[in-house]
Amino acid sequence: MTLRRPESALVVIFDTASNVLVMQRQDDPDFWQSVTGTLEQDEQPMQTAIREVAEETGINIMHGQLSLIDCRCVNQYEIRDIWQHRYPPDCKFNTEHVFALQVNGDENITLTEHLSFQWLPKSEAMALVWSDTNRAAIQQFVPEPIENACQ
């Protein structure tokens, strides 16, 4: 097994109503998250974000003419013990680059690495995701929904 590079991209996907896409991991059903993935050899964070969105959801950013936003936010977090075997033995922390992607909300989601997905209001998504950095990214980069003034 090739050890992973301790650097990843996190992509928070939200729709025009500020509902957030969250996915349930296969290897830990209690772990819900946004799209995330390790940077491959010679890959830049933006390239990883585009690749991971396509791999994990089936959303093709380039063909869909969507705008992936580099949030210019970089987090460091301690690698979970259950995943430590995937990284070099002396590596305890991962560096995470944060991106945001607004979609229409009518995209077909095709899961390849997760058990299920949900579109949730911002506050519910924040309550469900496992990681603090994912929660913070939703809080900071997903806009508040616009209330309908005609109600």
Q: List residues forming the annotated binding site for Mg(2+).
A: 52, 56, 113
Question: Which among 117, 121, 151 has a CA at the least distance from the CA of 139?
Answer: 121
Binding-site positions for substrate: 25, 36, 131
Binding-site positions: 25, 36, 52, 56, 113, 131
Question: Which among 98, 111, 109, 107 has a CA at the least distance from the CA of 141?
Answer: 98
Residue pair 40/48 in contact (Cβ under 8 Å)? The answer is: yes
Angstrom distance (rounded) from CA 98 to CA 14:
14
